[in-house]
Structure 1
Amino acid sequence: MSVTRWVSGSSGVQDGPWSARTLVGRLAPAARAALLRAGVRRTYRSGDVLMHEGLLETHVVVLENALAKVTALLPKGRHALIAIRVSGDLVGEMSALNNLPRSATVTACRPSTIRMIGRDSFRTFLRDHADAAIEVAGMVAERLRAANRRRVDFASYPAKVRIARALAEIGASHGHRTPEGIAVDLEITQSELATLCGTADITVHKALHDLREAKLIDTLYRGFIIRDPEALRTTAKLTPQ
């Protein structure tokens, strides 16, 4: 399990840290404070939708103290899990930059506080803070790289390996240590996990059963626990940590 570095909110606009993996965590203190000041603070309950796929709206959202999942609608009413976003992440930047409808829905996974920033204010911020604009470009590039890697995984690995990879990577990015293992407190349905891995629901059900039988994971109502992270990474054909 990699160690996540945290950056404290020294600007006084927020009462907590952000992971250095996130956009807000990467910004210099002055740029961080300017970005958060540009937004209107709003709160949401778990299950509330922050952004709706298909709507023509151009504001961006900074997840100030939040956890959210990004999904896209598939035929027959299924939803594809695209990504998980955490405190410090930016969402909605594509519509703000290209003025096209939302490409996905963003839903709060727990009570969350966000900063909503209008398109003009966001663009002014990028013009005034060149280093921040470079970080935003880097963030978009990283998300494109992750999407490309997922396509390669679809062609390179069988379904069970792809499912193990998804669980291991979600655990590394969003899990926390407990006496039982690495706990992930995310309400991800088996159907959403299936779409993330490009497989059928029944295949996910069987793979999770096999991983439980091997004592690599335990599944919970709202998440899962990785009992043996290194063994799961071996199953996932990922390099040891």
Structure 2
Amino acid sequence: MRSPPVLAQVPLFTGLAEAELEALASSLRRRSYAKGEVIFHQEDPGSACYIVETGRVKIVAASADGKQVVLALLGPGDLFGEMALLDGEPRSADAVVVEACQLLTLQRDDFLAFLRSNCDASLKLMAALARRLRRTDEFLQDAVFLDVSGRLAKALLDLGEGQGQKMPDGSLVTPRLTQGELAALVGATRESINKWLGYYRDRGLVRYEGGRVTIRKPQELRRYIY
């Protein structure tokens, strides 16, 4: 496989020479997944990591009684599944396709060999894991200090700014998500998400159509976080 353009978007691989990218690409395998397909389950052994080339993936943890929380929403250029390769432990969550996608897979031995031969990439990986830990800390603080309206406002703004589209009028459009997925993302019920989306809509802050939220007044919505 020739070096896919998406590799240049992966922070772990930035700064690599073209020859290094080509060598890495020779170890990659491409696979397509349909919407709703499970890439791996929690407690599965970890044999490979994945790079999102197209589409979107969610990382989901579930309790014994079936309650779910979305830990991350991933798009093109995002790497996932690497933790189990580093510590040899089972998968800590499910990975599920949100939008039909193409993934690039890198087997554990190839991934570890790459890290051993590239100190800079190892440092970047540590930085990425540190950022993930910070996000986890932030998520826990939000669960304690913010109510549902604040957590929803923050999640919508993060989605709009990180994975959405910024329109010429300054509004933000989030990726397509169901209210159930939004509920799992902020740790709330679907009913409460419906209630607060209606509240924001009635005040002219958002519009919800076709699974996408248009944030019409981002600065005003941000006030609900504090």
Answer whether TM exceeds 0.5 for this pair.
Answer: yes
Q: 1:49, 1:105 within 8 Å by CA — same for their partners in 2?
A: yes
Give the aligned partner of residue 185 of structure 1.
175
How much does 1:206 deviate? Answer: 1.3
Q: Over aligned residue pairs, what C-alpha RMSD do you find?
A: 2.3
Give the aligned partner of residue 14 of structure 2.
26
Q: Supply the AA of the counterpart residue of 1:28.
A: L
Q: Deviations over 1:115-134 (max 9, x none)?
A: 11111110001001111111
How much does 1:179 deviate? Answer: 5.9
Give the aligned partner of residue 160 of structure 1.
149
Give the aligned partner of residue 106 of structure 1.
95
- Give SS of 1:106's match: strand
Q: Supply the AA of the counterpart residue of 1:26.
A: T
Q: Which structure 1 residue ranges, 5 or more long, are not aligned? A: 1-10
Q: 2:62, 2:69 within 8 Å by CA — same for their partners in 1?
A: yes
Question: d(CA) in 1 for partners of 2:211 and 2:24?
Answer: 32
User: What aligned pairs does 1:1-241 form with structure 2 within 5 A after superposition?
Assistant: 13-15=3-5, 19=9, 22-24=10-12, 26-30=14-18, 31-178=20-167, 181-187=171-177, 189-237=178-226
Question: d(CA) in 1 for partners of 2:143 and 2:115?
Answer: 36
- Give SS of 1:120's match: helix
Q: Return the TM-score normalized by structure 1.
A: 0.83
Q: Deviations over 1:44-85 (max 9, x none)?
A: 223222222221232111122332111112243232111111
Q: 2:165, 2:172 within 8 Å by CA — same for their partners in 1?
A: yes
Q: Supply the AA of the counterpart residue of 1:14.
A: P
Question: d(CA) in 2 for partners of 1:172 and 1:65?
Answer: 19
Q: Supply the AA of the counterpart residue of 1:106.
A: A
Q: 1:168, 1:229 within 8 Å by CA — same for their partners in 2?
A: yes
Question: d(CA) in 1 for partners of 2:161 and 2:21?
Answer: 25
Question: d(CA) in 2 for partners of 1:42 and 1:178?
Answer: 33
Q: Deviations over 1:1-51 (max 9, x none)?
A: xxxxxxxxxx952245855xx425634344544443321111222322222
Q: Which structure 2 residue ranges, 5 or more long, are not aligned? A: none
- The 10-residue stretch of structure 1 (192-201 or 26-35) with the greater mean CA deviation from structure 2: 26-35
- Give SS of 1:43's match: strand
How much does 1:140 deviate? Answer: 0.9
How much does 1:97 deviate? Answer: 0.9
- Give SS of 1:67's match: strand
Quick one: structure 1 residues 64 and 107, their matched pair in 2 at CA, closer, same or farther if it must change by over 3 Å?
same
Question: d(CA) in 1 for partners of 2:23 and 2:181?
Answer: 36
Question: d(CA) in 1 for partners of 2:28 and 2:2?
Answer: 15
For these two proteins, the number of residue pairs brought into alignment is 224
Q: 1:46, 1:110 within 8 Å by CA — same for their partners in 2?
A: yes
Quick one: structure 1 residues 148 and 173, their matched pair in 2 at CA, closer, same or farther if it must change by over 3 Å?
same
Report sequence identity in percent: 27
